[in-house]
């Protein structure tokens, strides 16, 4: 079952169960997917959004909510921070299991070897290889410094 179908099935189930918070979050996910389709249509591309794009959208939504929760906590709005965390939990149901730190390190080493990267200039190649294989399974904001460190360790800095 593709990601879009999974989201729509969960949306229908939330409607039946009258789960208001869950329904709201699932509608936000659906709206984000439709926005991406509309943007693609405007660029003259194929309008269908694939699973990898949905994973990317969900990853961004999770990251945004984590930042919002942190900001709400700093502002003393714990009720809003909790709501953001609830949305994160719902969104993460559709994301694949996140890689452990050891798995991320192994993936970085494999991507560096696979692309033949030997300097910091090859960082884009390595990140592209990782994104094609692990979208939604690792935080690329945290992986970037690891890739850079690996490339610099090889004397490429």
- Single out the residue in 51, 71, 92 at which a domain terminates: 92
Question: For 130, phi and psi rounded to 5 degrees?
Answer: -65, -45
Regarding whether 60 and 7 lie in a shared domain, the answer is yes
Q: Give the CATH number of the domain where residue 105 resides.
A: 1.10.10.410
Dist CA 38 CA 32 (whole Å): 10
Regarding whether 87 and 27 lie in a shared domain, the answer is yes
The tens digit of pLDDT for each residue in 88-104 reads 999 999 988 888 889 99
Q: Which structural domain, as residue segments, surrounds residue 146? A: 101-153
Question: What does the block give as tokens for 122?
Answer: 């090859």
Question: What does the block give as tokens for 71?
Answer: 């900001």
Higher pLDDT, 49 or 64: 64
Dist CA 82 CA 17 (whole Å): 22
Dist CA 48 CA 26 (whole Å): 19
- Single out the residue in 92, 116, 140 at which a domain terminates: 92
The tens digit of pLDDT for each residue in 2-42 reads 888 999 999 999 999 999 999 999 999 999 999 988 888 87
- Single out the residue in 92, 119, 145 at which a domain terminates: 92
Q: Give the CATH number of the domain where residue 83 resides.
A: 1.10.1510.10
Domain count, the chain: 2
């Amino acid at each position: 079952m593709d990601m879009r179908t999974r989201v729509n099935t969960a949306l229908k189930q939330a409607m039946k169960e009258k789960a208001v918070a869950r329904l709201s979050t699932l509608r936000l996910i659906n709206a984000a997917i439709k926005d991406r389709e509309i943007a693609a249509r405007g660029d003259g591309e194929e309008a269908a959004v694939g699973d990898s794009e949905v994973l990317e959208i969900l990853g961004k939504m999770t990251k945004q909510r984590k930042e919002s929760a942190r900001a709400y906590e700093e502002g003393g709005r714990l009720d809003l921070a909790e709501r953001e965390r609830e949305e994160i939990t719902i969104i993460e149901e559709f994301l694949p299991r996140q890689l452990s730190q050891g798995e991320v390190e192994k993936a970085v080493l494999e991507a560096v070897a696979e692309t033949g990267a030997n300097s910091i200039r090859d960082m884009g190649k390595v990140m592209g290889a990782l994104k094609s294989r692990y979208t939604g399974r690792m935080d690329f904001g945290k992986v970037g410094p690891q890739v850079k460190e690996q490339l610099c360790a090889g004397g490429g800095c």
